[in-house]
Structure 1
Amino acid sequence: MKRYDLRHLKDNYEPRMREILDEHKQGEVAIFLFEIGDFTPIQNSADLVKECGYELLNSLKFNEVDWTIVAKKG
């Protein structure tokens, strides 16, 4: 299990998230922390997780502006 803080990327987190998802091995769990403005990034990140062959284990609001996604490569 590894945590990735993508908050510093603001709205441009998806390319880095895809890169990380592509590097993981079967069965590994990734935890992503990113910033949200509206809720569009949440659905986009869930779609990206599915597209990359991962199972979305958890998606939750971390605080007022941050969101956490937990995904496992299946």
Structure 2
Amino acid sequence: MRRVDLRKSKDFFEDLAKTIKEAKINEVLVILFEIGDFSAVEKSFSFVKEQGCELLNSLKFNQVDWTIVIKKV
């Protein structure tokens, strides 16, 4: 399991795609990112699936941060 902090990312989805590409098969990633509005959270669910990963969990970390737990399959 690896924790990846993308809270300061300029382009969250580009950085997320790069992180997923570098991950090993069956590796679990805990991705932390900032939410301005909820649309990034909803989009991340379908984006993760398109990248060949399984969404294991999604939760609000605090008032401005969100966490998704994914597994590369």
Q: What is the TM-score when the length of structure 2 is the normalising length?
A: 0.94
* Count of paired positions: 73
Q: Show CA shifts across 1:24-73 (max 9, x none).
A: 11110011000001100001111111011111000000000000000001
Identity of aligned residues (%): 53
* Structure 1: unaligned runs, 5 residues or longer: none
Match of 1:64 in 2: 63
What residue number does 2:7 align with? 7
Structure 2 distance, partners of 1:45, 1:22, is 15
Which residues of structure 2 form unaligned runs of 5+? none
CA RMSD of aligned residues (A): 1.0
Instruction: Give the match for residue 22 of structure 2.
Output: 23
CA distance in 1, matches of 2:63, 2:49: 25
